[in-house]
């Protein structure tokens, strides 16, 4: 971001300052992890439950393709118990994804902010 | 209305955050595909990764092999990164100057190094994620149609189990894209509501 643009916006007390703050706003790691965990859990539970509710003719397995998730999620199957286990795994995976996205976001902004502040300090702006 | 300097600042902020979100999603996308391939290879067995290797239709050079895992990492980073950047651009462009109002403790932060916390807008996220996923479904389906393998894509056709009316055809992709937009919009609202609730509780 241009130094002059940032400096101008910071001299204006309200909107420009808020935009600059919004640019560097951090994501709450725990909140994003929990939120993505819940959405993933809901998604995997619903995907399994939908196949179970649709059912299949006698002798034909239900959801053989979705059941391949058992390669990655031990114990998972397209069954009601499997849907709960899938929901649990979905929560863990979603938590992991959310935490990674939020952590990368925060660290990248922090690094950028530290570099910019250090540059301004050595340039005599601070 | 924003003045010229504020608009320039907003555009610069969106550009910078697009890159950051692109990196975050790129790392995630690349590592998911790499790890997904590696797990199958370590498990071994007959016809390893028969289904996952179908991704080579969309990702040239990808295969469920040790070398293919690294090619998958690069493709995953590229697609994930592009998706993350488009997602943020679309989200921020929908909110524009209202982006600055979606903050927790914006005025309490006195130190430049302690920025406020981001709050999510369910509508903006819903539009951004919905458009992104709908576009991806439309493009991937029609890629199968264009290369003439639509009739030989029973795995893609299984999406019709979740998106009624979806088929591996141009008209089916339009129906599927609209339904996927609706699903993504609803899930985005759920995500934003939970995130905002937890974030507010934690800053009390």
The phi, psi pair for A26, rounded to 5°, reads -95, 155
- Candidate from B25, B116, B162 with C-beta closest to A47: B162
- Candidate from B103, B158, B192 with C-beta closest to A65: B158
Res A20: pLDDT: 78
**pLDDT higher than 70, residue B155:** yes
**pLDDT higher than 80, residue B194:** yes
**CB-count exposure of residue A111 (10 Å: 0-12, 13-18, 19+):** exposed
* Segments forming the whole domain that contains residue A61: 27-122
**pLDDT higher than 60, residue B204:** yes
Q: Which of B6, B7, B9, B21 to mutate to test the interface with A (most CBs of A within 10 A)?
A: B9
- Judge whether A18 lies within some domain: no
* Mean pLDDT within B58-73: 96
Delimit the domains of chain B by residue range: 1-101, 105-204
* Mean pLDDT within B112-116: 69
- Judge whether A111 lies within some domain: yes
Q: How many folded domains does chain A comprise?
A: 1
Res B110: pLDDT: 52
Res B33: pLDDT: 96
pTM of this prediction exceeds 0.90: no
Res B136: pLDDT: 96
- Rounded CA-CA distance B35/A66 in Å is 18
* Mean pLDDT within B73-100: 90
Q: What is the band of B10 on the pLDDT scale with cuts at 50, 70, 90?
A: confident
Residue numbers of B between 36 and 65 with CB closer than 8 Å to A: 36, 39-40, 43, 51
**A29: its two tokens:** 């790691």
Q: What is the band of B6 on the pLDDT scale with cuts at 50, 70, 90?
A: confident
**CB-count exposure of residue A34 (10 Å: 0-12, 13-18, 19+):** buried
- Judge whether A66 lies within some domain: yes
Q: What is the band of A10 on the pLDDT scale with cuts at 50, 70, 90?
A: very low
Res A75: pLDDT: 93
Q: Is pLDDT larger for residue B188 or for residue B97?
A: B188
| Least Cα separation, residue A56 to chain B (angstroms) | 12
What percentage of residues in chain A have a pLDDT greater than 90? 56
| Least Cα separation, residue B80 to chain A (angstroms) | 12
Q: What is the band of B3 on the pLDDT scale with cuts at 50, 70, 90?
A: confident
What percentage of residues in chain B have a pLDDT greater than 90? 70
Supply the ipTM of this predicted assembly: 0.89
- Rounded CA-CA distance B76/B59 in Å is 9
CA B199, distance to chain mean position in Å, is 22
3-state SS, one letter per residue, for chain A:
CCHHHHHHHHHCCCHHHHHHHHHCCECCHHHHHHHHHHHHHHHHHHHHHHHHHHCCCCCCCCCCCHHHHHHCCCCCCCCHHHHHHHHHHHHHHHHHHHHHHHHHHHHHHHHHHHHHHHHHHHCCCC
Dump pLDDT digits (tens) for A17-32.
778 788 888 999 999 9
Minimum Cα–Cα distance from B160: chain A residue = A51
Res B165: pLDDT: 94
Dump pLDDT digits (tens) for B13-48.
889 999 999 999 999 999 999 999 999 999 887 778
- Judge whether A14 lies within some domain: no
| Least Cα separation, residue A117 to chain B (angstroms) | 9
- Judge whether A16 lies within some domain: no
- Judge whether A37 lies within some domain: yes
Q: What is the band of A95 on the pLDDT scale with cuts at 50, 70, 90?
A: very high
Res B195: pLDDT: 97
């Amino acid at each position: 971001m241009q130094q002059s643009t940032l400096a101008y916006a910071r001299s204006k007390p309200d909107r420009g300052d808020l935009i600059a703050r919004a640019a560097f706003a951090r994501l709450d790691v725990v909140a994003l992890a929990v939120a993505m965990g819940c959405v993933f859990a809901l998604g995997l539970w619903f995907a399994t439950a939908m196949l179970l509710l649709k059912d299949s003719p006698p002798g034909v397995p239900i959801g053989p393709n979705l059941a391949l998730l058992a390669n990655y999620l031990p114990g998972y199957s397209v069954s009601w118990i499997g849907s709960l286990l899938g929901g649990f795994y979905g929560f863990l995976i979603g938590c992991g994804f959310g935490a990674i996205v939020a952590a990368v976001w925060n660290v990248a902004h922090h690094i950028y902010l530290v570099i910019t502040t250090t540059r301004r300090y050595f340039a005599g702006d601070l | 209305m924003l003045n010229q300097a504020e608009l320039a600042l907003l555009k610069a902020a969106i550009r910078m955050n697009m890159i950051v979100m692109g990196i975050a999603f790129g790392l995630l996308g690349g590592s998911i595909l790499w790890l997904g391939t590696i797990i199958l290879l370590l498990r071994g067995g007959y016809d390893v990764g028969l289904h996952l290797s179908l991704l080579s239709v969309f990702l040239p050079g990808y295969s469920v092999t040790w070398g293919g895992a690294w090619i998958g990492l690069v493709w995953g980073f590229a697609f994930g990164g592009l998706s993350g950047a488009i997602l943020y651009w679309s989200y921020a462009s929908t909110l524009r100057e209202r982006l600055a109002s979606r903050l927790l403790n914006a005025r309490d932060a006195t130190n430049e190094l302690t920025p406020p916390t981001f709050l999510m807008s369910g509508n903006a996220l819903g539009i951004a994620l919905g458009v992104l996923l709908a576009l991806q479904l439309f493009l991937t389906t029609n890629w199968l149609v264009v290369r003439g393998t639509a009739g030989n894509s029973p795995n893609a056709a299984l999406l019709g189990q979740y998106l009624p009316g979806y088929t591996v055809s141009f008209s089916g992709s339009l129906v599927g894209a609209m339904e996927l937009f609706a699903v993504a919009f609803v899930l985005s609202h759920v995500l934003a509501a939970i995130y905002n609730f937890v974030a507010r509780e934690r800053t009390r």
